Amino acid sequence: MSNAVSAAASGTSRGSIEERLRAELGSPTASITVAQRSPVGAGAFRIGWLGSPNPANETERLVAQLRKRAWAEQVALRPPNIYVRVSTGTLRDWVVESFHAPSLVEPGSERKTLRVSVQRPDRWAESDLNAARAVSVAHSLAALLESRGFEVETELRTSTAESSANAAARLSIDGLPEHRELHVGGVEVGYGALRAKYGGALCDEDVLQDLTLRGRWQSLASAHDVQGWSKAALAFVLLRSEVARHVRLNDASLGADVDDFNLVYAAVVERPTLRAESAAAEVTEDTVRGLALLLDGLGQASLRGALELEPALVTRQLRALARQATVATQTLASDDALWGALRRGMARALELLGVAPLSANKNRR
């Protein structure tokens, strides 16, 4: 984690279920996480203690308190932890309520101005995929830092100092207590159908063209919005990997990227035809809980992305959420409140990736 960022911009994701549980139980020192394994079933929460002077007494008090709460379906004590399964209806209500807030992240108290600078080798053309990735990373980091309450300026520079074949873009952040400099991994296009299609070398315009051919924008956007769709999809693809790692592209991986982005885009623009038209099909609790927990995790991923300077954390959560939403379309009614929360949350997450809100038909310049 970036200590510089975390020290200068402390805070939490806005409206998380964990914060809601702490408030409901009056236990600010409680450590609350989604349990990977639980004696009360999937999608339960594990409650532990941070700095409590008497955790045993606190545990007994809290177990008694939980067993009186209507929303606590099941409670199990496995010292030193407590496991609680929140009712599905309450879980849905809490998540929907949290996404009425204007942002995914609670801004910190710091209001400094930061400068995010991208320095790329001058031998790179502006259409170079490596340059496009560096710019996408810079835009996303700027948006993530702005979500923490900073004012952010971005700047693109070229450098003649790095002329080797392995030269990488460098990204610096000035204005934090500690100067931050990151090396941005490039884009590697593997040998195969994708590379052969464009004569052995790809630029960003080639990938934009390929994305447009693969995309499902034909049924989701008007003709004048196609360029905006393809640029947003390219940013989504280029932010798939951690900042320091390379993004590896081939025909299969690009196809999977487009499939995921199609799902995200469909959720954000809210097309009812892509969802169940009625509640005729049986809605399983696992479907609702899975969607609610992943949606709640979007705020946590956004906060971590800002603190760790890693847009890929947001991208991964968006992908997982979009796939779960696709499962939910088979059973969840189109008027379920979770869809509105999903649309708002995913649109805000795209903004944190430096992508303008697609539902507003605005293209990033």
| Mean model confidence pLDDT for the chain | 80
Which of 98, 122, 150 is the endpoint of a domain? 98
* Model confidence band, residue 312 (pLDDT cutoffs 50, 70, 90): very high
Q: 134: Cβ–Cβ under 8 A, 6 or more apart, which residues?
A: 118, 120, 169, 171, 184
Same structural domain, 345 and 214: yes
Give the residue among 105, 102, 106, 108 at the shortest CA–CA distance from 5. 108
Q: Which helix (H) or strand (E) holds 4?
A: helix 3-8
- CA–CA separation, 249 and 191 (whole Å): 9
Same domain, 69 and 139: no
pLDDT in tens, 23-59: 888 877 788 889 989 999 888 999 987 655 556 777 8
52 and 159 in a common domain: no
Q: Among 111-125, 217-231, 290-304, 326-340, whose mean pLDDT is lowest?
A: 217-231
- 2 assigned to some structural domain: no
Q: How confident is the model at residue 8, as a pLDDT?
A: 41
State whether 165 and 261 are in the same domain. no
- 73 touches 92 (CB < 8 A): no
The CA distances from residue 307 to 33, 210, 247, 335, in Å, are 19, 34, 22, 35
Please choose, from the candidates 207, 205, 232, the residue with its C-alpha nearest in 3D space to the C-alpha of residue 361.
232
Domain-located, residue 218: yes
Q: What is the CATH number of the domain that holds 349?
A: 1.10.730
DSSP characters over 6-49:
HHHS---BTT-HHHHHHHHHT-TTEEEEE-SS-TT-TT-EEEEE
The tens digit of pLDDT for each residue in 42-52 reads 889 999 876 55
Residue at which a domain ends, from 39, 69, 98: 98
Specify whether the CB–CB gap between 219 and 265 falls below 8 A. no
Domain count across the chain:
3
* Domain-located, residue 1: no
Residues 150 and 230 in one domain: no
Q: What's 218's DSSP letter?
A: G
pLDDT of residue 3: 45
- In sequence order, the 6+-apart residues with CB closer than 8 A to the CB of 85 are 38, 40, 41, 43, 44, 45, 72, 73, 74, 75
Rounded Cα distance, 170 and 116, in Å? 10
Q: Which two tokens stand for residue 186?
A: 């490039």
Residues contacting residue 154 through CB under 8 Å, at least 6 positions apart: 115, 116, 117, 118, 138, 139, 142
Q: How far apart, in whole angstroms, are the C-alpha atoms of residue 28 and residue 20?
A: 10
Q: Are residues 85 and 117 in the same domain?
A: no
Q: Is residue 246 part of a domain?
A: yes
In a domain, 9, yes or no: no
Residue 71's CATH number: 3.30.1360
Alpha carbons 121 and 119: distance in angstroms, whole number: 7
Position 2 pLDDT exceeds 60: no
pLDDT at 315: 95
125 and 92 co-located in one domain: no
Q: Among residues 235, 231, 227, which one has the least CA distance to residue 135?
A: 235
Helix, strand, or coil (residue 205):
helix
285 shares a domain with 320? yes
Is the predicted pLDDT of residue 127 greater than 90, yes or no?
no
Cα radius of gyration rounded to whole Å, the chain:
22
Instruction: Let me know whether 70 and 118 are in one domain.
Output: no
Q: Quick check: is 8 in a domain? A: no
3-state SS assignment for residue 206:
helix
Residues 346 and 218 in one domain: yes
Among 137, 162, 193, the domain boundary falls at 193
Report percent pLDDT > 90 for the chain. Answer: 26
Residue of 316, 201, 329 lying closest to 266 (CA atoms): 329
The separation between the first and the last C-alpha atoms of the chain, rounded to the nearest angstrom, is 31
Alpha-carbon span 23 to 3, nearest angstrom: 27
Q: Say whether both 227 and 293 belong to one domain.
A: yes
For residue 347, being part of any structural domain is answered with yes
Is the Cβ–Cβ distance between 95 and 338 less than 8 Å? yes
State whether 165 and 296 are in the same domain.
no
Burial class (CB in 10 A: 0-12, 13-18, 19+), 67: exposed
- Domain residues for the domain of 295 are 210-360
Per the model's pLDDT, the better-predicted residue between 154 and 282 turns out to be 154
| Residue 103 included in any domain | no
